[in-house]
Structure 1
Amino acid sequence: MNNRDYASVVLNELHHTLSKIDIQKANEFVELVDQAQEVFCAGAGRSGFQVKGFAMRLMHMGINSYVVGETCTPNIRENGLLVICSGSGETKSLVNHANKAKEVGAKIALITINPESTIAKLADVVVEISAPSPKSAKQGDIKSIQPMGSLFEQSEGIFMDISIMMLMEKRNLDSDTMFGRHANME
């Protein structure tokens, strides 16, 4: 296959996974983010990279957002929201973060392949992305030509970008307003 062939297959895979996301769960996710006083974002590996991008866009919107594990991240409190991206929903460090958030009364939103996972049982909302991953007990309903969990990781990133657009609409924000908060020390 050539570049265009691969692009076509990958875009079809993304369309399949994104169109299967439960609209009600997506709306609940956006509502939790909108109502939170602070949003804490956690993920491991490539899912961690995706959720860091989400934290950045929340900051651009003027929402207090933090990446769990960074040195300047404060403690989570009752009015906070922990957003976890985990294909398996079983990553030990992320399970620990979810338990701590639950202990203090914070809300938890999980983006995952496995809605029956340990973290899912603790979460207030679970957004399921139907994609394959070698680390998840539950596999999505699509076979991907991409390696490992790539389809999940791409899908979660796009889902969070779509959630940002929904929040922008809800808060009457535009890209120009958000760009005013873009880093000026690059």
Structure 2
Amino acid sequence: MRMLTAASSILQELERTLQGVRPDEIAALAERVASSQAIFVAGAGRSGFMMRAFAMRLMHMGFRAYVVGETVTPGIAADDLLVVGSGSGETQTLVAMAAKAKSLGAVVAVLTVVPESTLGRLASDRVVVPAATKDGAAGTAASGQPMGSLFEQTLLLLLDTIIMHLMERKALEGAAMFSNHANLE
């Protein structure tokens, strides 16, 4: 019974957090993605895994999507988009990456708990996720989950929301996307 109580608590936290995200910020990011020539994604740790999942879904939809740091990722160029997931908005490797992308003329977008963070200030587009940071920084939401779990879970759901919006916009169904799915498994 304890397991079900924990799962219920997680779902309640997710619902509360998702209701706190501004729909206009998600819509703006979806439009930015749709209008970009190439989309690069980055994140550290578990947030990075969520960003990788986003890149994979974008690729399934036919977008030119890349994960920063992979050996097959090309250079970013003017008018390309870098989407960064960072709860704190202060991860130094991600800050340096965003600054470099911006200096090359790329657009930077961030999904973060802390909009006034360094990444938040560098970004043209921000999606504020009212979750807890992994260090439990003052002013962030409380969570019964460890470290940044609430942010990471919310990040995945928000990115899937963008995918669903883009699927609707392009009149795509999951079956149509399957043609771009890996087939050497």
Query: Please, what TM-score do these two structures have when normalized by structure 2?
Result: 0.97
Structure 2 contact 39–66 (Cα < 8 Å) conserved: yes
Aligned partner of 1:80 in structure 2 is: 80
CA displacement at 1:164 relative to structure 2: 0.3
Q: Pick closer, same or farther for the CA change 1:139–1:52 going to 2, 3 Å.
A: farther
One-letter code of the match for 1:92?
Answer: Q
CA RMSD of aligned residues (A): 1.2
Moved over 6 A (4+): none
Aligned partner of 2:182 in structure 1 is: 183
**Quick one: percent identity of the two aligned structures?**
48
Aligned partner of 2:149 in structure 1 is: 150
Query: Please, what TM-score do these two structures have when normalized by structure 1?
Result: 0.96
Aligned partner of 1:131 in structure 2 is: 131
Alignment of 1:1-186 (within 5 A): 2-135=2-135, 137=137, 139-141=139-141, 143-186=142-185
One-letter code of the match for 2:84?
Answer: I
| Number of residue pairs the alignment of both structures matches | 185
Q: Hey, what's the Cα distance between the residues in 1 that align with 2:134 and 2:9? A: 20
Q: Pick closer, same or farther for the CA change 1:93–1:136 going to 2, 3 Å.
A: farther
Structure 1 contact 113–136 (Cα < 8 Å) conserved: no
CA displacement at 1:7 relative to structure 2: 1.0
Q: Which runs of 5+ in 2 are unaligned?
A: none
CA displacement at 1:134 relative to structure 2: 3.2
Q: Deviations over 1:30-74 (max 9, x none)?
A: 011000000000000000000000000000000000000000100
Q: Which runs of 5+ in 1 are unaligned?
A: none
Structure 1 contact 87–136 (Cα < 8 Å) conserved: no
Q: What SS is found at the alignment partner of 1:132?
A: coil
CA displacement at 1:137 relative to structure 2: 4.4
Structure 2 contact 136–147 (Cα < 8 Å) conserved: no
Q: Hey, what's the Cα distance between the residues in 2 that align with 1:137 and 1:24? A: 26
